[in-house]
Structure 1
Amino acid sequence: MLSRLNLARRTLLLATPALLARPAAAQAPAWRPDRPLRLVLPFAPGGFTDILARELAERLSPVLGQSVVVENRAGGGGNIAAEAVVRAAPNGLTLLVATQGVIEISKALFSSLSYDPDTDFVPLGMMAAQPNLLVVGRARFPDQDLAAVLAAAKTREGGLSYGSNGAGSFTHLSMELLRSLTGAPLVHVPYRGSAPMLTDLMAGHIDLAFDGLGTSLPQVTDGGLRAIAVSSARPTSVLPAVPPVAATVPSFDATPWYGVFAATAVPQPVRASLEAAVQSVLKSDSWAKLLRDRQAEPFPGGSAELAGFIAKERETWREVVRKTGTRAD
């Protein structure tokens, strides 16, 4: 009798690992969409964000086993696109492609929003970061570095004028951050886009500007403009000899990023599957090559890490908006 009990006990102990492992093996498979997905972005076709979104859609489709389409919903300072994603059915089929403007800054710029950018979105991944260049006209500042340009602003009557892509734009707020950190008298001249701003900068009608690397690099290469700094905390691989603003103003960092977000209302298991799919694309060799070809940098990080980063940046940019009194409505 005793030998039988011992045998039964031994059999149970040997079987226990398999029994414990059985629930894990029986878990439901990762979520997969049963219909096409939409990537909604608040910009018109043709820009850098649109290019990244379409490249992501093409690579994401075979990973998820469904087609992924890009839907451009420009206007309203990004609020139209963001609202569309928040109001969509929380099934993981509608994602938002956005930048700082929507996620970090819009709540300070608009007196009333139909969504809350702080709580309604969860980051799935950052497609890229691409620093802006701080550029000056070569004729006006042929060899001065950033420190000399800031000194000129403080000694010239009326200070220096700077251009931006419009009031409340990231280029505007980036220069206001620089102004607040240095005390340099800088006067804002808003434009409707980079092209007219860069034309005036080369003609000497304004003194300096932050502008996207992709749009200002040709003028720097041709010699009409000089890049005296990059807006990121570290030098960019595209122009490694150009120092970051932080080399002169240590706490400065204004790096534009391009992210993919799901609505918080989407169930967590679905968000986790979407994050895994997005991250598999963003960590691929083909994506790394795309960024190199587009003068952009990778921006690694998972959902939790990126959420913490965004929360920290949000405080900086909203404080800049409050100090400038900028409003978008």
Structure 2
Amino acid sequence: MNRRQMLGLAAGGLAAPILRPGRARAQEAWPSKPVTIIVPFAPGSSSDIIARAMAQALQVSSGKGIVVENRPGATGEIGARVVIRAAPDGGLLMHAPISTWAINAALRPNLSYDPTRDFTGLMQTVRTPNVLVVNPDQVPATDLAGFVAWLKQRAGRAAYSSSGVGSSDHLTAEMFKQRTGTEASHIPYSGGGPATTDLIAGNVQFSFQNLGSIAPHIRDGRVRAIVTTASARNLILPEAPTATEAGLADFVVYSWQALGGPPGMAPALAAQVQAACAAALRQPETAKRLTDLGFEIVASTQEAFAGFQREEIARWKDVVQKGRIAPE
């Protein structure tokens, strides 16, 4: 063997190790470094509570730092823009509600992002139904038929509260009006808390509120439950029928949350993130904590979330257009 052949073999032998680290990095488990989860709403919001529960479980299982950072403003748009501009390496994610992932696209024609195109959707994390509740001192009805009859008798002289224009409870009430042929004035508030407070005070007559937040007020008799918007009766409020049971066919609405990352995440990385976060949500202690608050763990696949998100955007666009609803 001559010198040239020996050098050729040596070069070939050195080439192989250069490729191996690249393959090892591609297969490296996520998270391999600290991760930040952006929540585009204030601390204490449902998105924040769920993100922190998931982050805590992830930190325990991975041994890596998982930080939740709140970037509120513009119904989630400010935080969303931060994530869109981030590197698609799994180091920055976003956990946000139905408004950021679907309703904004239906309600705001000048939205600066496309929730289906400008993110890597990872999964729907949780969902919770809304509950139609009334002030028991002002509304005599105890069932859906009686409530619809009362609303029609009032001929627009009733009002409902919501946690804000374009919120899940606002659009649920608008869809209810469209489906039942009833009228009522919308009084928006800056969150579910003040919307519920004014309902209890009698300044409005009814509201659709998330199950977990309204259940204690139902148990204490401060508001009366008429129906839930769930697909089946809920263990937290088993005495309340679903709207479908009560005669309003296919009136199934959930306020939901989802997790996503920047656009362009590698499919293998996205699959790792989805699997790790789904496992964190299903961790028994985490699942019980969230279930006790009224949330149902979904932890969907990426494919299921993509289809569901498209359906939700189309659904709420229809409600917005029929109701001629404008953003604030």
TM-score computed with the length of structure 1 as normaliser = 0.86
Percent identity, aligned pairs only, is: 35
Say whether 1:173 aligns with 2:205: no
1:123-182 CA-to-partner distances (Å, cap 9, x unmatched) read: 323332122221101112345201110111112233432111122221111100111111
1:188-234 CA-to-partner distances (Å, cap 9, x unmatched) read: 12222233332332233322101122332222111111011112222
Counterpart of 2:186 in structure 1 is 188
Judge conservation of contact 2:101–2:115 (CA < 8 Å) in 1. yes
Query: Tell me, what secondary structure is at the counterpart of 2:115?
Result: coil
Counterpart of 1:43 in structure 2 is 41
Counterpart of 1:14 in structure 2 is none
Judge conservation of contact 1:78–1:101 (CA < 8 Å) in 2. yes
Say whether 1:328 aligns with 2:327: yes
Query: Tell me, what secondary structure is at the counterpart of 1:261?
Result: strand
Counterpart of 1:110 in structure 2 is 108
Judge conservation of contact 2:57–2:281 (CA < 8 Å) in 1. no
Counterpart of 1:266 in structure 2 is 265
Residue of 199, 202, 226 corresponding to 2:200: 202
| Residues 58-69 of structure 1: pairs in structure 2 closer than 5 A | 58-69=56-67
Residue 322 of structure 1 and its aligned partner are, at CA, apart by: 1.9
Residue 79 of structure 1 and its aligned partner are, at CA, apart by: 0.4
Residue of 69, 72, 82 corresponding to 1:71: 69
Length, aligned pairs only: 305
Judge conservation of contact 1:124–1:261 (CA < 8 Å) in 2. yes
1:97-142 CA-to-partner distances (Å, cap 9, x unmatched) read: 0111011111232232332112122332333212222110111234
Distance across 2 between alignment mates of 1:320 and 1:143 = 26
1:300/1:234 CA distance change after superposition, 3 Å: farther
Letter in 2 for 1:101: S
Letter in 2 for 1:273: Q
Residue 318 of structure 1 and its aligned partner are, at CA, apart by: 1.4
Identify which range, 276-285 or 77-86, moves more after superposition: 276-285
Judge conservation of contact 1:92–1:262 (CA < 8 Å) in 2. yes
Identify which range, 65-74 or 244-253, moves more after superposition: 244-253
Residue 291 of structure 1 and its aligned partner are, at CA, apart by: 2.2
| Residues 227-238 of structure 1: pairs in structure 2 closer than 5 A | 227-238=225-236
Query: Tell me, what secondary structure is at the counterpart of 2:160?
Result: strand
Residue 29 of structure 1 and its aligned partner are, at CA, apart by: 3.0
1:201/1:113 CA distance change after superposition, 3 Å: closer
Letter in 1 for 2:294: Q
| Residues 134-149 of structure 1: pairs in structure 2 closer than 5 A | 134-142=132-140, 144-149=142-147
Counterpart of 2:150 in structure 1 is 152
Query: Tell me, what secondary structure is at the counterpart of 1:256?
Result: strand
Distance across 2 between alignment mates of 1:62 and 1:192 = 35
Judge conservation of contact 2:106–2:313 (CA < 8 Å) in 1. no
1:236-291 CA-to-partner distances (Å, cap 9, x unmatched) read: 11001101122221121221112211223111111111111112112222232112
Distance across 1 between alignment mates of 2:229 and 2:24 = 50
| Residues 20-31 of structure 1: pairs in structure 2 closer than 5 A | 29-31=27-29
Counterpart of 2:9 in structure 1 is none
Counterpart of 2:214 in structure 1 is 216
Identify which range, 36-45 or 148-157, moves more after superposition: 148-157
Judge conservation of contact 2:162–2:192 (CA < 8 Å) in 1. yes
Residue 26 of structure 1 and its aligned partner are, at CA, apart by: 9.3
Distance across 1 between alignment mates of 2:273 and 2:167 = 30
Distance across 1 between alignment mates of 2:241 and 2:210 = 16
RMSD: 2.1
| Residues 298-313 of structure 1: pairs in structure 2 closer than 5 A | 298-313=297-312
Distance across 1 between alignment mates of 2:28 and 2:321 = 44
Counterpart of 1:290 in structure 2 is 289
Please list every run of 5 or more consecutive structure 2 residues that lacks an aligned counterpart in the other structure: 1-22
Identify which range, 252-261 or 198-207, moves more after superposition: 198-207
Residue 27 of structure 1 and its aligned partner are, at CA, apart by: 11
Counterpart of 1:239 in structure 2 is 237
Residue 187 of structure 1 and its aligned partner are, at CA, apart by: 2.0
